[in-house]
């Protein structure tokens, strides 16, 4: 199966995690980091999840999953490892369905939710890739659920390649891009400068520890365009 790669904006979105063990904890932490509003359904929680509950970071339903629990959920994660329960959840979501928001193209989950069942890609509407983050740089790797171990290995290699100064460079580029677009120079010149900022040569400069030099060169080029 081929998956459609996408980065979702989960800020303020209702997400439900079924299960309270270590796998569920990992899923909850990643959802919270993305700004989601998280509800955990489980009769038991890990100590860390208990702490999140006590601080009001998550909502907790202290029982097993029941039909109707997913109403209003944008995303659902089943992290119990129970095959029968995953079948029940998937069946419930398939029955309830979903709809498309014509204005924004996003899924309205008042009657349905996108499901991820841990270690059961055949039950999933989406799978969670191995990922690395460095500031605002995010790289995701997927083997379409075939080998999560290989995904993690590749992600670890990418972390070595794109760690360090790339976060600082992106912070610089965020402001730099606005300045370039706001400059009075011709569009082709602006495009050429932005292309230079994202070129393989610039990537090599960041990786080799020449970030200060690269920033100075780009700033110089921008000043030349603006004059």
DSSP state of 122: G
| CATH code 3.40.50.720 for 14-127 | yes
3-state secondary structure (DSSP) of residue 45: coil
Tokens 């359904």 correspond to what residue? 41
CA 40 to centroid of chain Cα atoms: 19
pLDDT digits (tens, 9 = 90+) for 125-171: 787 888 888 888 989 998 888 888 999 999 999 988 898 899 999 99
User: Residue 33: which of 50, 54, 8 has the closest Cα?
Assistant: 8
pLDDT at 105 over 50: no
pTM comes to 0.72
| H/E stretch holding 217 | helix 211-226
pLDDT at 212 over 80: yes
Q: Which two tokens stand for residue 214?
A: 């690269």
Exposure pattern of 163-200 as b/e (b: 16+ CB <10 Å)?
eebbbebeebbeebeeebeebeeeeeebeebbeebeee
pLDDT at 194 over 90: yes
Gap between the Cα atoms of 158 and 140, Å rounded = 10
Select the more confidently predicted residue: 105 or 147.
147
pLDDT digits (tens, 9 = 90+) for 2-41: 778 888 899 999 999 999 999 999 999 999 999 999 999 9
User: Where do the structural domains in the chain lie, given as residue ranges?
Assistant: 14-127, 166-226
Gap between the Cα atoms of 112 and 39, Å rounded = 16
């Amino acid at each position: 199966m081929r998956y459609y790669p996408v980065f979702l904006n989960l800020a303020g979105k209702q997400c439900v995690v079924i299960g309270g063990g270590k796998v569920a904890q990992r899923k909850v932490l990643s959802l919270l980091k993305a700004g989601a509003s998280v509800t955990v359904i489980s009769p038991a929680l890990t100590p860390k999840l208990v702490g999140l509950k006590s601080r009001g970071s998550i909502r907790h339903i202290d029982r097993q999953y029941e039909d109707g629990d997913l109403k209003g959920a944008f995303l659902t994660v089943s992290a119990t490892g129970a095959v029968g329960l995953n079948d029940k959840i998937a069946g419930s979501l398939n029955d309830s369905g979903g709809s498309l928001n014509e204005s924004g193209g996003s899924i309205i989950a008042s009657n349905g939710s996108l499901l991820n069942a841990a270690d059961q890609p055949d039950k999933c509407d989406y799978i969670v890739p191995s990922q690395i983050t460095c500031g605002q740089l995010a790289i995701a790797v997927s083997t379409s659920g075939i080998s999560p171990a290989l995904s993690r290995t590749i992600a670890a290699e990418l972390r070595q390649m794109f760690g360090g100064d790339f976060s600082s460079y992106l912070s610089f580029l965020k402001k730099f891009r606005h300045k370039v677009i706001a400059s009075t120079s011709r569009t082709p010149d602006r495009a050429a400068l932005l292309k230079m900022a994202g070129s393989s040569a610039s990537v090599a400069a960041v990786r080799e520890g020449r970030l200060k030099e690269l920033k100075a060169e780009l700033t110089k080029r921008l000043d030349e365009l603006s004059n």
